[in-house]
């Protein structure tokens, strides 16, 4: 429940801030002129919400992630296991050519790890206690290499950019189509100015449909970068360790309690939904790709 409240509260706060920005600069009045929808103004307004929301979420991602799972930053190692974890991540980060990320542990029986952050040199890598208990060090090293590869490849920024662009065009097209359909149904161009109840309903329906299509594109990219991260885990750790880690995860059936906003950056993903909406490829395909890797 706390995670849901945090997620909703954060998104509402972001939308409120962006709404104030739009209002202060008069972008809403520019988008809806007296003659109808101003396409240029509408595109700019939608870009503020779409791109702005995506990158504000990215900027807050480390804080949100830590609070969502209750992760504790390791500032000083307590015991040999934590020291090994810090040393291994430092070794992988150096080999990947990035700065040392923050390292965190969170208490959870699931086997998972994730990386997030605004840039390659200011990232966070978090590991569950369940993963540390369930895998050997060779497997864990490969998993950590997988997450470091996400950071080195700039996957978080790329995902935010793709999500922001798609959000922009989903909002823009939904409102343009809504104005056209509402105007045609009412037989009055004035209705296309937006603000009527019919226009609102049409926009919400269009935004839902277009949002599903946008999600398919985002998840397609997410699955592709998982193969790249697996290859990175095999390179920074070992191929045998990466394959063994995925085989161990297969027994976990991809279960995850990570918040939706950071599930795509975890090592384990839920494959029980339709393939088009999967953030991670099926584990057997990931293992096959590693075995065929030269």
Selection from 278, 231, 230, 234 nearest residue 254 by Cα = 278
Tokens of 33: 């002129």
102 is catalytic: no
Contacts of 93 (CB under 8 A, 6+ apart): 99, 100, 101, 148, 151
Q: Which of 82, 102, 110, 147 is catalytic?
A: 147
DSSP state of 269: -
Q: Is the dihedral of CA 140, 279, 254, 248 positive or negative?
A: negative
Strands 113-119 and 72-73, sheet pairing: unpaired
Residue 114 is given by DSSP the state E
- Which of 268, 267, 278, 260 lies closest to 218, judged by CA? 278
Task: Give whole-number Cα distances, 183 to 162, 172, 178, 221, 239, in Å.
Answer: 31, 17, 8, 37, 59
Q: Alpha carbon of 189 to those of 39, 176, 183, 198, 205: distances in Å?
A: 15, 13, 5, 13, 20
CA distance 232 to 240: 13
Catalytic positions are 147
């Amino acid at each position: 429940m706390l995670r849901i409240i945090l997620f909703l509260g954060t998104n509402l706060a972001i939308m409120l801030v962006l709404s104030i920005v739009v209002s202060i600069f008069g972008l809403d009045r520019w988008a809806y002129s007296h003659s109808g929808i101003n396409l240029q103004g509408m595109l700019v307004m939608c870009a503020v919400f779409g791109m702005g929301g995506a990158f504000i979420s990215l900027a807050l991602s480390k804080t949100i992630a830590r609070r969502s799972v209750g992760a504790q930053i390791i500032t000083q190692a307590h015991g040999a296991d934590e020291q090994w974890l810090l040393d291994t991540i430092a070794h992988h980060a150096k080999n990947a050519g990035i700065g040392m990320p923050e390292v965190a542990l969170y208490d959870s029986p699931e086997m998972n790890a994730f990386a997030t952050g605004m840039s390659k040199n200011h990232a966070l890598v978090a590991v569950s206690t369940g993963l540390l208990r369930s895998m050997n060090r060779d497997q864990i090293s490969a998993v950590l290499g997988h997450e470091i590869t996400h950071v080195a490849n700039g996957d978080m920024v790329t995902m935010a950019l793709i999500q922001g662009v798609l959000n922009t065009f989903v909002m823009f097209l939904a409102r343009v189509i809504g104005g056209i359909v509402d105007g045609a149904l009412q037989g009055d161009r004035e209705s296309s100015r937006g603000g009527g109840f019919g226009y609102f309903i049409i926009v919400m329906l269009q935004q839902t449909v277009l949002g599903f299509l946008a999600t398919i594109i985002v998840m397609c990219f997410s699955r592709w970068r998982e193969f790249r991260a697996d290859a990175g885990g095999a390179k920074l750790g070992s191929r045998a360790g990466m394959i063994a880690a995925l085989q161990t995860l297969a027994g976990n059936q991809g279960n995850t309690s990570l918040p939706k906003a950071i599930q795509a950056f975890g090592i384990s993903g839920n494959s029980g939904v339709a393939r088009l909406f999967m953030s991670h490829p099926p584990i057997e395909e990931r293992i096959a790709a590693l075995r065929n890797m030269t």
